[in-house]
Amino acid sequence: MRTKISPSLMCMNLMEIKQQLAILNSRADFLHVDIMDGHYVKNITLSPFFIEQIRPYTPLAIDVHLMVEEPTDFIEAVAKAGADYICPHAETINRDAFRVINQIRALGKKPGVVLNPATPVSFIHHYIHLLDKITVMTVDPGYAGQPFIPEMINKIAELKALKEQHGYTWLIEIDGSCNQKTYTTLLDAGAEVLIVGTSGLFNLHANLETAWDDMMVNIAQAQSALRESA
């Protein structure tokens, strides 16, 4: 499977949204939108209104990451705003996971789930077959620019093995410190979608087109290194 790229829009230059979306539209596979409530994590970033504003300017799938204590307060709003994937944290839905997943599907959207670093894959065992995407946090949630947590490599490999064993179709996505230092390890473990933010994309160059090209060189080098070691 070709590695898919999902730029994290909270890391983009928000003063140049239209210009940067135009660049990403022909290059990215998804657009990653973080929504935080200031409670589940001590930060507030984007909103359903932001999704509504960018929806007319991109054909890409908008992937919404709900870092909120009460996902059901946001699901309908982000769906109406134009989200394609809706991904709450497993810790916030396990009391009513089946109801939440059914709600997302009933709205015509794809359900995903996000696993914090300390949350095991077994936490979602009973509904893992109902998902379209599983996001592994390789940093603690809340802020960009945190250091990579290497213990997450085993979790990614565990998901890859489960997917192959049972024929699951969900995507294995990585959120946190996806950059030149980690690409080889992440791809080797089984990562399929890379969420790229400051260190992986937007801080590589002031010109986003140049930054994208630099990122793709870094990813290609990681893929080449894996082929050579195979």
Does the annotation mark 34 as catalytic? yes
**H-only helix segments in 94-151:** 97-106
Binding-site entries:
32, 34, 65, 142-145, 175-177, 197-199
Q: Which helix (H) or strand (E) holds 226?
A: helix 208-229
Query: Given 63, 84, 175, 188, which residue is catalytic?
Result: 175
Does the annotation mark 175 as catalytic? yes
Question: What are the CB-based long-range contacts (under 8 Å, 24+) for 166-172?
Answer: 166/129, 168/128, 168/129, 169/132, 170/112, 170/128, 170/131, 170/132, 170/133, 170/134, 171/4, 171/132, 171/133, 171/134, 172/134, 172/136
Q: Under DSSP, is residue 63 helix (H, G, I), strand (E, B) or coil?
A: strand
Binding-site entries for a divalent metal cation:
32, 34, 65, 175
Distance CA 120, CA 96 (A): 18
Distance CA 38, CA 97 (A): 22
Query: Given 34, 63, 84, 188, which residue is catalytic?
Result: 34
Residues known to be catalytic = 34, 175
